[in-house]
Each structure stands twice: as structure tokens, then as C-alpha cells.
Amino acid sequence: MRIPCPICGTRDRREFYYQGAASLLDRPAPGAGGEVWHAYLHLRDNPAGRTRDLWYHEAGCGAWLVVERDTLTHEIFGAALVETSDAD
Ligand SMILES: [Zn+2]
């Protein structure tokens, strides 16, 4: 599997570290209840088909990417840099 890093170009999957579903970016508010945090921290889907995942270009530019791919066919539809809300 090859991943198209927006900075480095298309690279082998072994250069990247897989973090998990892109929904991990939707962190609950600090005051959210225990059930909300339990679901965020411990419950994972195991989808078959098109997904959006977080990948870290560990052996490349060090960027975090959201990669859209199909878990059944391993087809990669695209990759984009993770946008942060940090103003500084
Ligand atoms: Zn890169």
C-alpha cells in the first residue's frame, strides 16, 4: 500500500505510523461525562469499506495526515494534512 503524502509525494506504507480512525480528532470537551470519555478512549469501530484514518509520516516529513481508504480493497482515495485549531 502506498500513501500520497501532500508534502513528500507517494510513499510506501511502512514509512507511516497508523494511529486510528480520524474521528479521534473530535475530542470530547473537558467536562464531558465519563461515558463520553469511555467511548472516546476505549471503543473502536472495525469498519469494512471506506474509512478516514490518522497516519503519521514517521520516516518522512513528520506530518499528520487524514487518509481516506477502503479497508477491503486497500485503495487509497486521497490524503490531506490534519488541520489544527491551535492559533499559536
Ligand atoms: Zn510526508
What is the spatial distance between Cα 60 and Cα 67, in angstroms, rounded to a whole number?
A: 16
What is the spatial distance between Cα 6 and Cα 57, in angstroms, rounded to a whole number?
A: 11
* 63 CA → ligand 1 middle, Å: 6
* 58 CA → ligand 1 middle, Å: 8
* pLDDT of res. 88: 45
* 23 CA → ligand 1 middle, Å: 21
* 32 CA → ligand 1 middle, Å: 34
* 44 CA → ligand 1 middle, Å: 26
pLDDT tens digits for range 38-67 = 999 999 888 899 999 999 999 999 999 999
Q: Taking residues 75-88, what's their average pLDDT?
A: 81
pLDDT tens digits for range 12-46 = 999 999 999 998 888 999 999 999 999 999 998 88
In the chain, the domains with their CATH numbers are 2-81 (3.30.2270.10)
87 and 12 in contact (C-beta within 8 Å)?
Answer: no
* pLDDT of res. 44: 87
